[in-house]
Amino acid sequence: MAIHFDVVRDGRHFSARVNNNDIFPIGARVRFRNRNTGVERFGLSNDAGFFGNAEAKKQLYLAKDYQDVHGFWSAFIEPTAICEGQSFISLNTYDRARFTFGFGQFAAHVPDGDFIVWFRDMLQRPEVLDYFPNLEVRGGRIVKLEAGRAVTMEDDNSTEKLQLYLNPTLDDVEDAEVIAAAKLIHWTTHHPEARLLQVQHMIHTARRLVREGDRRLGLDGISADLCCIVMDIRHHGRAGFDDLQRALLATDPFTALLNVGAENEPERCKNLKTALKTRRANLAQKKWSRANGDFI
């Protein structure tokens, strides 16, 4: 039976009431201004400093919790997880991605991207009827059931319909946006299998980005600490392959890679440097093997 969520507003802070009983925090209304266009947008965030932060800190991704299942890869993705907020329930709905979620900040605006692939798998879990009874996967695509028909919400070219379902506008915070966030937060918080699925998809993303980096940059034999930075840059999208190639050829490639994109994203680069400070030695013990398609 579907769980019912009611929106609770307290100024710019939003919570949800579950089945007319318990209330839990979702996030705060924030304003985002595009530095290039000056356009202002509004949405939800539960990052550090906002209303949901205390709850988000209870749901942190820690490599040690998943080492038995995923081995070295659980450590490989941890620096990026830290840079992305580290929380399984991290949320923002105010930028061009329209809806991003999880410790890897999976973004809903990319066709066949990390959010879409992850959400398809979530919708095939047994708890789906509790949270999204009107969504399902048919023919490998997310569809919405309405008026006796199935409406395709995403395809190879666009996720616009799904974006609008999750977040109707960027002009303000709508109830539909709060409820979509509430469903994902509640689902993730109450079902460890949902958190494991997030880990699996983040590792899948990391593997794909390292393989892609190897094809473009020749990472065979490169230590995992350097590959970790390459992966983070590509996941974040702050630089292209030409910049990465120059950094890899530098006298000190580790420092050079950490500085890639620092002009526009200084805080992200600083956070990655901090995250790697105590993790680099462990990562550097392994190297990427093209033949194995893995770190050895």
Of residues 71, 45, 83, 58, the one with CA closest to residue 268: 83
Distances (CA, A) of 87 to 84, 140, 172, 242: 8, 28, 24, 32
d(Cα 177, Cα 169) in Å, to the nearest integer? 9
Q: For 187-204, b where at least 16 C-beta lie within 10 A, e where not — what string?
A: bbbebeebbebbbbbbbe
- Mean pLDDT over the full length of the chain: 94
Q: For 105-142, b where at least 16 C-beta lie within 10 A, e where not — what string?
A: bbbbbeeebbbbebbbebbeeebbebbbeebbeeeebb
- Shared domain check, 34 and 177: yes
- Shared domain check, 44 and 165: yes
Map tokens 């050829």 to a residue. Answer: 249
- Shared domain check, 182 and 244: no
Distances (CA, A) of 68 to 15, 71, 72: 35, 6, 9
Ranges in the chain, pLDDT < 50 = 48-52
d(Cα 200, Cα 203) in Å, to the nearest integer? 5
Any idea what DSSP says for residue 214? Answer: H
Q: For 249-264, b where at least 16 C-beta lie within 10 A, e where not — what string?
A: eeeebbebbbbbbbee
The letter for the amino acid at 117 is V
- Shared domain check, 238 and 165: no
Position 35 scores a pLDDT of 74
Tens of pLDDT, residue by residue over 155-165, are 999 999 999 99
- Shared domain check, 60 and 12: yes
Position 53 scores a pLDDT of 65
- Element (DSSP H or E) covering residue 48: none
d(Cα 99, Cα 122) in Å, to the nearest integer? 16
Asked if 69 and 192 touch (Cβ cutoff 8 Å), the reply is: no
- Shared domain check, 228 and 184: no
SS (H, E, C) 135-148: EEEECCEEEEEECC
- Shared domain check, 255 and 178: no
Position 51 scores a pLDDT of 42
Tens of pLDDT, residue by residue over 2-13, are 999 999 999 999
Number of domains in the chain: 2
Asked if 144 and 135 touch (Cβ cutoff 8 Å), the reply is: yes
- Shared domain check, 172 and 125: yes
Position 37 scores a pLDDT of 79
- Shared domain check, 247 and 100: no
Find the radius of gyration of the CA atoms of the chain. 20
Q: Is 211 domain-assigned? A: no
Q: Is 195 domain-assigned? A: no
- Shared domain check, 160 and 267: no
Position 47 scores a pLDDT of 65
Tens of pLDDT, residue by residue over 208-259, are 999 999 999 999 999 999 999 999 999 999 999 999 999 999 999 999 999 9
- Shared domain check, 141 and 224: no
- Shared domain check, 249 and 145: no
- Provide the domain limits for residue 157: 5-190
Position 52 scores a pLDDT of 45
Q: Is 153 domain-assigned? A: yes
d(Cα 176, Cα 193) in Å, to the nearest integer? 25
